[in-house]
Chains A and B, each alone.
Chain A
């Protein structure tokens, strides 16, 4: 059901035009299109680069509607008093607009922007923030009286939906805006938003949904996920100009064939930063950010600079963000923690150290610069090895041609559904059949089977499918045909556990004289002894003591000799970018020069062509390399393949190949992978010709063989913690939450073992297994790769020496071996031989 809405005549919006005119601007055509679509009663998705006016495109539709309604109202009942903006008082309008943002840091600025617009347009709207940072007294007030515009996160929305009286107050909502939708799409948080939107559509008839997104490859699908009923896709006509250049080493130096820090390029980086006002320098890993920070700080101690990554204390991150916003900092060294966020007007240069990983990611990072009027986003890529130069060149070319990756939405994660079902049982209860229809109205659960739905209800009502195994279970009860939660203790524990972000166990790092610096992984700290010096938060810190989950440190004058590593770091190269790199190789193979920057790796290309062949589309390059033990001390036989399918898919492929290979030839092989290919290393020759290799690469029986080869049951343990946490089996250990939460602490491992022994058919175990296959081994990508390889010819080359492409794989292999010669010395010597 939709409310009757008239298309507004343009004369009804003098206020909007006046407001724009007062700022010396005119609305962009895409903004007018979005307002008109909103007035039509439509939903949709607006995509544009950051800083091009998406916020106003989504915001002013609802505001224009309110102005129009106020005018109609005034015509019918002439006002007795003047209307003035009221914030949070009893006279402000009931909730009209909900603004969802994935990032708390964005929320505060969004509140400011909406308040300013409401004040300028004389709307009596209250605009408020609700995130985990807001005080509990404000939250309690908001539950009783929602503001006209509520700016919040997906988690806070779920918490509101868990209160029956608050949920009912959403009935007056006209619209929901989901900011940064591309960031949510493809994650469990995105699925949580889909379910939340379905509920809001149920509560508020005629609700319109608008999404804001950066450019991604599957915008039509992004729209279909956000608005399953269909909506408009609106593109900003203007595209912000992005320039990508590559920092090349001086002619007398060659780019190494492998490596990951890239500190050899420090002089070029210093020069680039020198010529800019404020620079954001992105790395791919936190440890790399720590090392680059200390290297630059060592070279330019007078530069005001800051470090920003996810393990640092919020106050330190806030200070870095403030410095970037106000321009007091020359440089911020950061990781993906600054991929999103408020625009930093002074930033006029972005530097990317190491692989760009993907085209969308590079565009996103580049877009953090150039927010000055008519500004250009400027990015300098710093390859740490030769193949990364190809990645930057390939990404630049794809970006110029408008080719960009897709974000694949998730299908039916049962842990998220379980959590949502309990949330709704808590927020006033539901009738099972009605909720099933609502859940199936979402994209993620459109094909949810009857069996999955019943399992989900059984899980929350009786603990599991068999009553006898779960006696005395209570979470959700069925009272008069409605599923409800009646036990206050269960309600409290559930609200504590709402959300889909599962953080790792971490140790706080605190200065002895007071002040938290952030967190590191426990495994790192337990390996350190007191008085050892490590690098963290951009300083050299001496460990004083470690107890009760807190590492006490003091700033040291001695140099640091270790840097913490954080898990979950390696983000694979996108298959899209891998294909672009392969296409570049294809052109080099054909003797063309696709880009003058590639002259910097001419020696590498020539050596690859002479020792072996260049890879190219339509051909699987396979290299059989025999390493003589005499010259190197590393005798052995390598089989290197280059499917260009990304690190994770190669890991799966490596496990599959070595498992299948042992059925041909009994031997022990080690597997090493990178984003381009993989190598199987064995002490004896691998008796494989092209046809045997073809058989090993068959896509038939992929999943069965993969499961058999990897002990997937054990691998599932890795994903189970997240699944169990979201499904509500693990209560997060939050400080100050009282005894109740502590009494039900149990580890995910314990649940995993107990389920495997006592309820092996548990669907959450199956989900964890599915997630291992999908997310950790990228089985879909692997299958696509194998199917593609099926149609390719195999180019099997024998080489007596390492080739430039096999060299980085070999270094990975050597890193895991023992040798008396220092690793880096050996790698330097081998590299000289490869390029000789």
Chain B
């Protein structure tokens, strides 16, 4: 029965396209949030568990600017990122800087403390309910390609992600700043000896990472709802992306985010109850095979 086989084939194909599409959008959000974490961890060797808090702050800032100050989306988004970047620079100066090169346990504790503070503060200001993000009409609705419909917002996420990945890659590979970052990741002492101002470099990378996280958090509210427990609840997910991808790399987290985004989406179609298991098992297997992650340097 060729017609029956054809129908099955076409169903499979449309399922595969749909999984690839939504998985890609999810992966972009994960990547935007986690890449900063990967670079700061690789660069400063700092276990920053509170990185997700910057993503959450981006989401809250965006929704507050839009609903209370009535700012349009395209203005509120950069404003939200700037707010988060300023906050992150202050925190870097006041808190993070003191623990660079320090005890891993101290870093875990301090950032855990920060997470708890954000949980309390977010509940106080916004309450326990998830904050909705209303994207403007131009990126709402559906795009028709051939006989299929794709949600415009998620297509926008993918485009955003691709543009930023490319920009980030170019910035790191082609600019002076990127060369300094790579040098410092490879050999911090040597980088300092040749006169790179690593202290300023740390602050800049930290701010850049927070900006990307804020963007990812604000745009990704669709996948990761903006709730007070955000930083704690999604911590495992972000850390998995970073650890699987490899510290200090920008390519690694991208591959890891793709892997996780697409497999979680695929499982949500096939067997929703097994998705998380699969991710955890995959993570353990990859880390046992390559303790430094897929693209980590030895």
Q: Do A and B bind each other?
A: no
Enumerate chain A interface residues (CB-CB to B < 8 A). none
Enumerate chain B interface residues (CB-CB to A < 8 A). none
